[in-house]
Amino acid sequence: MLTPRSVLAPILLAIFVTLFGVACSEPTAEEKLASAEETLRAAEDLRDRALDAQERRQTELDAANDALEAAKTRAADAQAKVEELERMIQQLATDDLLFRKVQSALLDDRELAATAISAEVDDGIVTLTGSAPDEETRAHASEVASGILGVREVVSNIRLPPGASAPAPAAEPVPEAEAPGASQ
């Protein structure tokens, strides 16, 4: 039989369980504060680890940049040495090459075939030596040597036989103070 107590007891029990569950499931202000503090500490710890990692990476980056600059300096020094050596080799190779070209041109020229003219080359300057029968042949040898690409200057020390026509010596420039009509 149902009594008011037997009906009311399950209802009160259900209300009590519901209220207890609601009270237990919703955190209190203290619990919320404690949870927030714990989350904050975890975030701060994560931030500190990230900053430490960033600092280590920055240190590594700085060291790598220093090594890169040192390597660039060494590379620039090496490049300067290479360029210096290339200039020296080019000068030597150029003089040797010019010698062969000039000598070949002198030997291949029909007008110079019967002469004994040779060449020396130093820093692109060709010096012709030997003998020629006349001034025209000597001038022609200088023209042949001058026509070689890379020749900067030709010095002719070619001898002429006695009695061959030699050009008149060039007049030396007269200093302005000694020139006729110069005011004193």
Domains of the chain: 94-159 (3.30.1340.30)
pLDDT at 177: 45
Report the amino acid identity of residue 24: C
Average pLDDT for 56-75: 95
What is the rounded CA–CA span in Å between residue 183 and residue 172? 21
**Mean pLDDT (whole number) for 163-183:** 49
- pLDDT at position 110 is 93
Predicted confidence at residue 61, as pLDDT, reads: 95
What SS3 string covers the chain? CCCHHHHHHHHHHHHHHHHHHHHHHCCCHHHHHHHHHHHHHHHHHHHHHHHHHHHHHHHHHHHHHHHHHHHHHHHHHHHHHHHHHHHHHHHHHHHHHHHHHHHHHHHHCHHHCCCEEEEEEECCEEEEEEECCCHHHHHHHHHHHHCCCCCCEEEEEEECCCCCCCCCCCCCCCCHHHCCCCCC
This prediction's pTM: 0.43
The number of residues making up the chain comes to 184
* pLDDT value at 95 more than 70: yes
